[in-house]
């Protein structure tokens, strides 16, 4: 599962690859530098999709959805559940 901290790490790496400071990226993405710093350093638990999307867009990145496995695995079905209605 993709986590906000792993997204932040990828953002930091790409920002450095482009030679951007946190201040420059934050300004281009219209987010606070402290927010970007917290994201990159896994000190933030929640961040709105619009902010993440703007940051990623500036870096030429995007989030993609893909199936992680069988649907029951992700919605809390017990491993011994044989698909019986309860």
Region class of 47: left (phi > 0), else alpha (psi between -120 and 50), else beta: beta
d(CA 43, CA 66): 26
pLDDT tens, N- to C-terminus, the chain (86 residues)? 789 999 999 999 999 999 999 999 999 999 999 999 999 999 999 999 999 999 999 999 999 988 887 665 555 555 555 555 54
Return the CATH class of domain 4-58.
mainly alpha
d(CA 28, CA 25): 5
Q: Sketch the domain layout of the chain as residue ranges.
A: 4-58
d(CA 67, CA 53): 20
């Amino acid at each position: 599962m993709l986590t906000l901290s792993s997204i932040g790490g990828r953002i930091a790496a790409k920002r450095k690859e482009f030679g951007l400071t946190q201040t420059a990226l934050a300004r281009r993405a219209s987010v606070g530098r402290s927010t970007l710093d917290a994201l990159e350093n896994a000190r933030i638990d929640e961040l709105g999709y619009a902010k993440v999307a703007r940051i990623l867009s500036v870096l030429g990145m995007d989030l993609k959805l893909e199936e992680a496995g069988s649907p029951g695995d992700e919605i809390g079905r017990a491993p011994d559940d044989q698909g019986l209605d309860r």
